[in-house]
Amino acid sequence: MVDCTIRDGGLMNNWHFSDDFVKSVYKACVEAGIDYMEIGYKSSDKIFSRQENGPWKFCDEKDVRRIVGENKTGTKISVMVDIGRIELDTIPPKPKSVIDMIRVATYVHQMDKAIYMAEQCMEKGYETTINLMAVSKVNERDLDEALHDVAKSKVPVFYVVDSFGSMYCEEIELITKKYMELLKGKTIGIHAHNNMQLAFSNTITAIIHGCNMMDATLLGLGRGAGNCPIELLIAFLKNPKYRLLPLFQAIQDNILPMQKEIDWGYHIPYLVTGAMNEHPKEAMQWMDSDRKNDFVGFLMHMHDTFSLLE
Amino acid sequence: MVDCTIRDGGLMNNWHFSDDFVKSVYKACVEAGIDYMEIGYKSSDKIFSRQENGPWKFCDEKDVRRIVGENKTGTKISVMVDIGRIELDTIPPKPKSVIDMIRVATYVHQMDKAIYMAEQCMEKGYETTINLMAVSKVNERDLDEALHDVAKSKVPVFYVVDSFGSMYCEEIELITKKYMELLKGKTIGIHAHNNMQLAFSNTITAIIHGCNMMDATLLGLGRGAGNCPIELLIAFLKNPKYRLLPLFQAIQDNILPMQKEIDWGYHIPYLVTGAMNEHPKEAMQWMDSDRKNDFVGFLMHMHDTFSLLE
């Protein structure tokens, strides 16, 4: 189980979370027995502005340690890297870092770079995964080729990622089965978005078909419609190693109040981009505008935009 | 497709909807091509107070006609009746009514009465269904016996009802298959609740396994966590006989503003009663109290209450 509250939620506020907020998520993860907490992206400040983005876009060692200290807990710390947005030599060897896992997010055409990056991180001593984004847009031949390369790599974990929240259970089942079959011996993960209120059910479907590493966030906080709510997943799993109460505590103390600032969750514009298998960015812009609740207008805008494009 | 916005939503405000609101839902259903609109309960005013409850708890002919006129549209009008809460002789023969369908809601121990009531309504000229509530609490032997009786009856439609929003996809699949097998030749329906964000996905699961009559509501408006959002279902079905735009229009004009008055949807107390397979009434009371957002308190309250009871 990977809590992505800060990393994916930060896509909604450019990672401008207070230390107290990040600490409360960390405390909840530790007390609830969550296996990994993904505390942010590690990225280059030559590419992203430190003024525009909070510390969890960069995850400098000193910032992470300010939250987790030496992290003598059962919860490991994860960060995500994007291909081309981080210099490999800025990642210290694992003995010098309190970070345990580096997850490499990639599009299909960058798969060779992603494999190289992940294997280099393994060399440095980290756990790694590769998260292939936007699989709903990838054609079968490119996907098979990419999976062929991943199969030959040392990378032990590969993710089903429904970036646009556009996948129904049949597609999740199909993709999960394909990954399980072509990547025998590797762990398969699932990262779902909630545009069509399917993040939790798609995560269950993936589990049924063999996924063994699940991403989720407190109250579903995450980009656009958000992610699979971790409290639902923990209540479903009924695994005594996890505890629900610390998650409820963090939700009522810290996550729920944040709904006043950040408008994640099920909203009609996110349903529209999900159902159209498009990136949520148009919906996010619409939700930020004064036409936020003009759903008819958004549907027509999207039809105009994409019928012109395609 | 049955829109239950007014009938199930009324459980949140004792059916105190303005005529304009009900008309807007009706207009949306007609323009969107929805097959049935369930406009409320038909019940006896000897049992329920007309002061406490709005007109859609009673669905007097004159009230229904005030909204739908002679209803010369493609959308049929449905009402729900509860066993023991309506006198059969107050239901006029169909030629005198603009109502097309009467759905009989029942618990398993009242099944003989439900069958009698439904068959009497058929005699009067109405379409009918039987909706067996709270199936998640029914033991297999009682269920098989009830289904045996339903199979022998003339009633053409029987519903899978997840009253508590407690069922996962495996249970929906199991129950749907059982109904399909034991009630050959009848239509099977699905009515889901959204306590665990599974109403839409459970509806899809039921469709995959043969359900052919789906309940849903605008923006999921309904008791507690609400129902399957009709806009998601229409977007999923991609059936050209349905139109999304009129639903969006009604949602932005009428349903979304109602969120200020009625607090339906995914909230942690509803997750708790769903996961515990309990009626949402405790959660609804909690949501009405000043401890609404004390989720830890509610979880402990529920554990105390039900470990004492069971």
Q: Is A294 helix (H, G, I), strand (E, B) or coil?
A: coil
Q: State yes or no: pLDDT of A17 exceeds 80.
A: yes
Cβ neighbourhood burial of A271 (10 Å; 0-12, 13-18, 19+):
buried
The whole-number average pLDDT for the span B137-165 is 98
Answer yes or no: CATH 3.20.20.70 is held by domain A2-258.
Answer: yes
Q: State yes or no: pLDDT of A310 exceeds 50.
A: no
Q: What is the residue-averaged pLDDT of chain B?
A: 97
What residues does each domain of chain A span? 2-258, 268-309
User: Smallest CA–CA separation between B38 and chain A, in Å?
Assistant: 23
| DSSP summary character for residue A159 | E
Q: State yes or no: pLDDT of A309 exceeds 70.
A: no
> Cβ separation of A268 and B249 shorter than 8 Å?
no
Each residue's pLDDT tens digit, A124-173: 999 999 999 999 999 999 999 999 999 999 999 999 999 999 999 999 99
pLDDT above 70 coverage of chain B, percent: 99
Q: What is the predicted pLDDT for the residue at B105?
A: 98
> Cβ separation of B205 and A294 shorter than 8 Å?
no
The token duo for A229 is 């709510």
Q: What is the residue-averaged pLDDT of chain A?
A: 97
Q: Among residues B121, B112, B39, B34, which one has the least CA distance to residue B86?
A: B121
The token duo for A250 is 């963090």
Q: State yes or no: pLDDT of B33 exceeds 80.
A: yes
DSSP run (H or E) holding B175 = helix B169-182
Give contacts of B248 with chain A, Cβ < 8 Å. 268, 295-296, 299
Q: Among residues B52, B117, B202, which one has the least CA distance to residue A202?
A: B202
**Which residues from B are below 8 Å from A when comparing CB atoms?**
168-169, 194, 196-202, 204-205, 229, 231-232, 235-236, 244-245, 248-249, 251-252, 256, 266, 268, 271, 275, 293-296, 299
Give contacts of B232 with chain A, Cβ < 8 Å. 196-197, 271
Give contacts of A31 with chain B, Cβ < 8 Å. none
> Cβ separation of B271 and A235 shorter than 8 Å?
yes
What does chain A come to in residues?
A: 310
User: Smallest CA–CA separation between A202 and chain B, in Å?
Assistant: 8
Please give the full DSSP string across B115-160, using - where no structure is assigned: HHHHHHHHHHT-EEEEEE--GGG--HHHHHHHHHHHHHSS--EEEE
Q: State yes or no: pLDDT of B309 exceeds 70.
A: no
Q: State yes or no: pLDDT of A76 exceeds 70.
A: yes
| DSSP summary character for residue A95 | G
Q: Phi and psi for A127 in degrees, rounded to 5?
A: -70, 150
User: Smallest CA–CA separation between A108 and chain B, in Å?
Assistant: 27
Q: What is the predicted pLDDT for the residue at B224?
A: 98
Each residue's pLDDT tens digit, B16-26: 999 999 999 99
Each residue's pLDDT tens digit, A238-281: 999 999 999 999 999 999 999 999 999 999 999 999 999 999 99
Each residue's pLDDT tens digit, B266-282: 999 999 999 999 999 99
pLDDT band for position B310 (cuts 50, 70, 90): very low
pLDDT band for position A303 (cuts 50, 70, 90): confident
Q: Are A259 and B265 in contact (CB under 8 A)?
A: no
Among partner residues B200, B231, B275, which is closest to A198 by beta-carbon distance? B200
pLDDT band for position B59 (cuts 50, 70, 90): very high
3-state helix, strand, coil in chain B (%, to 5): 50, 15, 35
Interface A-B: count of C-beta contacts within 8 A = 90
Q: Which amino acid is at A199?
A: A
Q: What is the predicted pLDDT for the residue at A308?
A: 56
User: Smallest CA–CA separation between A248 and chain B, in Å?
Assistant: 6
Q: What is the predicted pLDDT for the residue at A166?
A: 98
Q: Among residues A53, A18, A49, A9, which one has the least CA distance to residue A216?
A: A9
pTM to 2 decimal places = 0.96
pLDDT band for position A307 (cuts 50, 70, 90): low
Each residue's pLDDT tens digit, B233-248: 999 999 999 999 999 9
Each residue's pLDDT tens digit, B152-193: 999 999 999 999 999 999 999 999 999 999 999 999 999 999
The whole-number average pLDDT for the span A186-194 is 98
Q: What is the predicted pLDDT for the residue at B305?
A: 77
Q: State yes or no: pLDDT of B113 exceeds 80.
A: yes
